[in-house]
Chain A
Amino acid sequence: MPRIEVDETLCKGCELCKMTCPKQCIEMSDKFGKSGYFPAKLAKEDCCIGCKMCYQVCPDVAITVYK
């Protein structure tokens, strides 16, 4: 099952990945990350298709895609 992992220390909560995800399966966390922003996270477990679009647009290389 494809999934993404977001590095909380790198993510600045810009929401670009959330806007880009074709399956709308990324949402922003409601808890502060380690760097003081609301980091992105995978909303649903079996939603990700591993298309790497979030990785492509992430300005902080905070997302790792697993497949």
Chain B
Amino acid sequence: MTAEKAITKRPSGLTDKKTHYCPGCGHGVVHRLIAEVMEELNIVGKTIGVAPVGCAVFADTYFACDMIQGPHGRGPAIATGLKRSKPELAVFSYQGDGDLASIGMAETIHSAARSENITIIFINNCIYGMTGGQMAPTTLIGQKATTCPKGRDAKKQGYPIKVSELLATLQGAKYLERCAVHKPAFVAKTKMAIKKAFQNQIDGKGFSMVEVLTVCPTNWGLNLKDSIGFLEGPMEEYFPLGVYKDEK
């Protein structure tokens, strides 16, 4: 019998620090995937990440690469500056839906329109997490939040924004994919998408964004099983998974 050995290990792109995320939150999985991709591409020491304002505000302490914590929504603007001054480094911006689709929408759209050679990882959980479950631009019609306790009403609060579809209309956006991380098969797909987004940047192709649908059991007020049911039901129906743009 051969000696037993570990077939999984903590990727070198992550620090040893325990995350502060709620149990079941998808942020941890996406952190690990980014760390694994950086390790596989051998760019941990050659990457600068931009942490957002939102639940992932402490991401700078979880990634082993260099990190900057940006003002609310300004991730793509900071990433633009970093990439233009240090084109030899890989630059990624890690943002949530409140950060990217609300206050940072202008930065997102214009960095895509300019086709900045950066990678954006966009976490979409249909709600503001850190501030306590308020309605986000991506909150679904009928979904309850603390600022729409009877459910989002299209007549009062309008319709949720589909960011990947929106950016797909821009000529500057080169790679857009929407994934999820609630099951192993989706996790593997998300990893491939993140790897491609980083590889595109290394190859100098231009703006790449990976949107990841995640659960937020705490602010949705559901247990994890029902949260996954919500993600697989109404969320995937409104935000279909798939590749929205992949320019050669």
Q: B-contacting residues of A (Cβ < 8 Å)?
A: 1, 3, 9-10, 12-16, 19-20, 35, 37, 50, 52-53, 55-61, 63-67
* Chain B positions 205 through 218: 1 when the CB is less than 8 Å from some CB of chain A, otherwise 0: 00000000000000
Asked if residues A14 and B23 are in contact (CB atoms below 8 Å), the reply is: yes
**B residues less than 8 Å from A10 (CB atoms):** 18
| Distance between Cα atoms of A61 and B9 in the complex (Å) | 8
**B residues less than 8 Å from A37 (CB atoms):** 23
Query: Least Cβ distance of A42 to chain B in Å?
Result: 14
Q: Give the residue of B7, B11, B21, B22 whose beta carbon is less than 8 angstroms from that of A52.
A: B7
* Chain B positions 222 through 248: 1 when the CB is less than 8 Å from some CB of chain A, otherwise 0: 001100100000000000000000000
Given the known A-B contacts A19-B224, A20-B184, A35-B18, are A59 and B26 also in contact in the complex, defined by CB atoms under 8 Å? yes
Quick one: which of A1, A12, A58 has the most chain B CB within 10 A? A12
The reply to whether the CB of B150 lies closer than 8 angstroms to some CB of chain A is no
Q: A-contacting residues of B (Cβ < 8 Å)?
A: 4-11, 14, 18-19, 21-29, 32, 181-184, 187-188, 224-225, 228
Query: Least Cβ distance of A32 to chain B in Å?
Result: 14
**A residues less than 8 Å from B225 (CB atoms):** 19
Closest to B30 in A: A59
Q: Give the residue of B27, B28, B187 whose beta carbon is less than 8 angstroms from that of A61.
A: B28
Given the known A-B contacts A9-B18, A16-B224, are A61 and B24 also in contact in the complex, defined by CB atoms under 8 Å? no
**B residues less than 8 Å from A67 (CB atoms):** 4-5, 7
| Distance between Cα atoms of A14 and B23 in the complex (Å) | 5
Closest to A55 in B: B8
Closest to A18 in B: B224
Query: Least Cβ distance of B187 to chain A in Å?
Result: 5
Asked if residues A52 and B29 are in contact (CB atoms below 8 Å), the reply is: no
| Distance between Cα atoms of A3 and B14 in the complex (Å) | 24
Asked if residues B8 and A52 are in contact (CB atoms below 8 Å), the reply is: yes
Query: Least Cβ distance of A44 to chain B in Å?
Result: 17
| Distance between Cα atoms of A20 and B27 in the complex (Å) | 18
Given the known A-B contacts A65-B7, A66-B7, are A56 and B24 also in contact in the complex, defined by CB atoms under 8 Å? no
| Distance between Cα atoms of A65 and B183 in the complex (Å) | 18
Asked if residues A57 and B7 are in contact (CB atoms below 8 Å), the reply is: no
Closest to A65 in B: B8
- Additional 6 contacts, C-beta under 8 A, given A9-B18, A19-B224, A57-B29: A1-B4, A10-B18, A37-B23, A52-B8, A53-B184, A66-B6
